[in-house]
Amino acid sequence: MGAALAQATTSREPGAPAPAQAVVQVRGIHKTYDNVEALRGIDLDFPRGALTSLLGPSGCGKTTLLKIIAGLIPATSGEVRVNGKAVTEPGPERAFVFQDFALMPWATVKRNVAFGLELRGVPERERHETARRYIGEVGLTGFEERYPHELSGGMRQRVGLARALAVDADVLLLDEPFSAVDEQTRRKFQEDLLRLRERERKTFIFVTHSIEEAVYLSDQIVMLSRRPGRLSRIVEPKIDRSGTPDEIRRDPRYLDTVEDIWQVLREFVE
């Protein structure tokens, strides 16, 4: 790892001591699909209240790991614990934001956002009040009665994020949530996500292909090798986020961290 990255970040080798107060613990996770090994020996801790990005080449198992944490697919071996409890299926302490929005096309924005609360048996008035609150949080006030086909891609993704926030889960799992929008919308989403994180104090686990996005957003970046995905390095960017978004992206520490992470990951690109 380059000197600039050593100065601009804290970096931990696999197996190094984990941060305190981990809300999600991943131990010895292996995953094989039809004799193809997707993940090998993943041990990770995700600190409470932090935003962690999973970063690595295509096919390295980032989304697979996210879905195992969510309880959507089983690991071949190993264990995931959330708040000390073993994960065997989806649970109310975790909420998933899908890459393809996964909205109900026949339902309004308000109904989509309130759907998780409806499944939990929350009374109608309470779930509608909660839905309206989070629709406002993601900047969609006035669109409560619109349908997904009436919204742009960026607006649909905001609905998905509001739905995840509405169920008040401890952990939000985001699978490349900004990949389907244009660059201007993507940057606005990044800024909105940082503000939401400050207000909500949730634990975010975020899959991205973008080194720039990972450095801009993350408290820690988990770097995975190419398939089978193995833990390569954990980087904790020391980026000063007190300035404007443009100032942050022009900061030499930000630029050096982006470049040096690329130098580490490029060896995994075929």
143 within domain boundaries: no
Regarding beta strands 220-224 and 231-237, do their DSSP bridges make them parallel or antiparallel, or are they unpaired?
Answer: antiparallel
pLDDT tens digits for range 73-83: 999 999 999 99
- What does the alpha-carbon distance between residue 215 and residue 49 come to, in Å, rounded to a whole number? 17
Residue 101's nearest CA partner among 41, 163, 165 is: 163
> Which residues partner with 174 through β-bridges?
97, 206
Residue 207's nearest CA partner among 30, 55, 60 is: 55
110 within domain boundaries: no
243 within domain boundaries: yes
Report the side by side order of strands in the sheet with 77-82. 36-47, 22-33, 77-82, 85-86
Run of H or E residues at 4: helix 3-8
219 within domain boundaries: yes
In this prediction, residue 20 carries a pLDDT of: 53
pLDDT tens digits for range 215-257: 999 999 999 988 888 998 899 988 888 888 888 889 898 999 9
CATH code at position 60: 3.40.50.300
Residues of 68-84 as b/e, b for ≥16 C-beta within 10 angstroms? bbbbeeebeebebbbee
* Number of structural domains the chain divides into: 1
Match 């039809």 to its residue by tokens.
34
Q: What is the CA radius of gyration of the chain?
A: 19
- What does the alpha-carbon distance between residue 74 and residue 181 come to, in Å, rounded to a whole number? 30
Q: How many CA atoms lie within 13 A of 1 on its CB side?
A: 19
In this prediction, residue 270 carries a pLDDT of: 57
185 within domain boundaries: no
Structure pTM? Answer: 0.85
Q: Which residues of the chain have pLDDT under 70?
A: 1-20, 180, 268-270
141 within domain boundaries: no
- What does the alpha-carbon distance between residue 45 and residue 8 come to, in Å, rounded to a whole number? 22
Please give the distance of CA 70 from its chain centroid, rounded to a whole number.
11
58 within domain boundaries: yes
For residue 258, the enclosing domain spans 3-93+173-178+201-268
Q: In the chain, how long is the greatest CA-to-CA distance?
A: 56
pLDDT tens digits for range 101-124: 778 999 999 999 999 898 888 899
In this prediction, residue 7 carries a pLDDT of: 44
